[in-house]
Amino acid sequence: MMKILSLGAGVQSSTVLLMSCKGELPKLDAAIFADTGWEPEAVYDNLAWLETVASVAGIPLLVVRAGNIKQDALVSQVRGVKSEGHRWASMPYYTQSSDGNAGMIKRQCTAEYKIAPIEKKIRELLGYKKRQRIKPGSCEQWFGISVDEQRRVRVSRKAWVKFYYPLIFGLDKPFSRHDCRLWLKRNYPERDVPRSACIGCPFHSDDEWRSLKNNGEWTDAVDFDKRIRKCGGMRGDMYLHRSRQPLDEIDFSTPEDHGQQDLFCDSGFCFV
């Protein structure tokens, strides 16, 4: 049974790969990163570093692509169809119609830009062609999901692949995202592993938008947000932020930015 990691190059999946490199988890046969073409520069930098570390440990790090999610989104002319007639996997934009109704577009991007290309590569690694029946129990697909995200745990519906979550079930104790951060700090203090998500992902928290605003990728996100406003074939206006306001008009400042004292204590003892 091949052990293959679905690598996002963020905190949790990086921890899983590095633990495998160090022998704290079983050795992986490969790690696969699905590149949407619109990841932050910090993610690409971390990916290059991970490739070097994994190579030394004898673990191939493979990169697959199903297109460029930003470019595909911008050429979309009608709902679900690109201008040249090919289907576009929609991003989960927030919507606001003229009568005030708010909604959200169904997310298809993860399935088509991440899951599908990784599964295709796994089939290749196992030696099977498209639609060819794969022997049951051929692959153990690892995911970097921590115990605080346990709601995301799924059971595979395909007999040939078993989903495995090493941060929850493979260690002496389940690891949270915070535990991953601490492990990375102990073992690779020189590295600052980023969160993995597309630059214009509508699921960004305000903290993540604020962080993006402090680097050159903010301009890219703002431009994209403006260009999707009148998305052909869609009812109403499209937005990247849940407030359904233009990104560059939202106040992402914190109370501390305005000189107010932060009363939160993160010592771990105040609320035991």
Q: What is the CATH number of the domain that holds 31?
A: 3.40.50.620
At residue 233, the pLDDT reads 66
* DSSP 8-state class, residue 87: B
Beta-bridged to residue 63, according to DSSP, are 33
Phi then psi dihedrals of residue 264, to 5 deg: -80, 135
- Residue-range definition of the domain harbouring residue 31: 2-93+107-201
d(CA 222, CA 236): 19
In a domain? residue 16: yes
In 144-257, which ranges are E strands? 161-164, 237-239
In a domain? residue 176: yes
Number of structural domains in the chain? 1
In a domain? residue 11: yes
d(CA 126, CA 137): 11
In a domain? residue 35: yes
Helix or strand holding residue 50 (H, E): helix 41-56
Report field, pTM of the whole predicted structure over 0.85: yes
d(CA 86, CA 267): 53
At residue 267, the pLDDT reads 34
Residue-by-residue pLDDT tens, the chain, 272 positions: 999 999 999 999 999 999 999 999 999 999 999 999 999 999 999 999 999 999 999 999 999 999 999 998 888 644 555 555 555 678 899 999 988 899 998 888 999 999 999 999 999 999 998 889 999 999 999 999 999 999 999 999 999 999 999 999 999 999 999 999 999 999 999 999 998 999 999 999 999 999 898 888 999 999 999 999 987 667 789 999 999 999 999 999 876 665 654 444 443 333 33
